[in-house]
Structure 1
Amino acid sequence: MDKYVNLIKLSVGSESVETLADWQQTRAAQSEDGLPRHVTRMWPKREAEILKGGSIYWVIKGQVQCRQRILRMDEVMGSDGIRRCAIVLDPDLHRTQSAQKRPFQGWRYLKPEDTPPDLPKTRHSEDALPDDLNRALAEIGVL
């Protein structure tokens, strides 16, 4: 299997996986072919590795909650004339096991071995760990 890498990104303004999905269905969040996209100022240097099977993992309300497969990266010129990267996504949101994540800016690379596993399609969420246990596990790097 080819080596690939994922991205992780805060979904600012999303309250849930459903609100992320709702936003991605708006025209403003779509590429010309109607696929959801996320526009970012920085172009990933590891584009080739990402496109070999990588996903973007979405952090919503401090928890990794879902992922989407990355299909391609398109160049987009902003109204300010600055080149940006539109990360074009598969419209299917795959829910993952929750994993606490501290706030960060922009996106980060995420190795496949560090990603939370997908939930079965029949489960829309999982029972949450108590907050103190979740924080303690995150602090020692388990989550």
Structure 2
Amino acid sequence: MLNLIKLVVGVASLEDLVARQKLAHNTRQIDGHAERLPVVHTRAFPRQAETLLAGGSLYRVIGGLILCRQELRDIRTETREDGTNGTLLLLSPRIIPVEPRPMRPFQGWRYLNAADAPPDLTHAPTTAPLPTPLLKALTQLGL
């Protein structure tokens, strides 16, 4: 299975991501879906779109850590207000936490093979989530 990975800019935590995805300009109503889907804008259209849509997800890097994923529902081209072409990644509204993993900054998106992707967290934390900077420091220490 093939996935994408992308940085989330301007978001400090999973809670911030949830709130951001509820804003109208970050969602789209598309044919065949009763609900509005979260959307990510990007420039390049993935050449392996069909493979991605066969069960792939978008993994999200927040504060230097891969923290979650969302299943890819559709990938579409768009024409922006300035006339340039872009791409919309339409996502499942369900945010799936994954085992935190450090990730250095990069531009745009990258392909991520299933073998290299962090596993989903299979249990809900029993305490409040740690702040992302503290979680990053602990992860880098191997704790």
TM-score under structure 1 normalisation? 0.84
Q: In structure 2, what is the Cα distance between the partners aligned to 1:82 and 1:58?
A: 25
Unmatched runs of 5 consecutive residues or more in structure 1? 138-143
1:84 positional shift: 1.1
Cα pair 1:76 1:85 within 8 Å, conserved = yes
1:10 positional shift: 0.4
Cα pair 1:95 1:125 within 8 Å, conserved = no
The change in CA–CA distance for 1:132 and 1:42 in structure 2 (over 3 A counts) is same
Q: In structure 2, what is the Cα distance between the partners aligned to 1:100 and 1:118?
A: 15
Q: How many pairs are equivalent?
A: 132
**Percent of matched pairs sharing the same residue:** 35
1:26-41 aligned within 5 A: 26-33=23-30, 34-41=36-43
The change in CA–CA distance for 1:113 and 1:125 in structure 2 (over 3 A counts) is farther
Residue of structure 1 equivalent to 2:122: 120
Residue of structure 2 equivalent to 1:131: 137
Residue of structure 2 equivalent to 1:14: 11
Describe the superposition over 1:91-116 as per-residue Cα deviations: whole angstroms up to 9, x where unpaired: 00000000000000000000000000
Corresponding residue to 1:60 among 45, 59, 62: 62
Corresponding residue to 1:103 among 84, 99, 105: 105
Give RMSD over aligned pairs. 2.1
Cα pair 2:41 2:89 within 8 Å, conserved = yes
Q: In structure 2, what is the Cα distance between the partners aligned to 1:43 and 1:102?
A: 23
1:131 positional shift: 3.2
Structure 1 or 2: more strand by fraction: 2
Q: In structure 2, what is the Cα distance between the partners aligned to 1:72 and 1:132?
A: 35
TM-score under structure 2 normalisation? 0.84
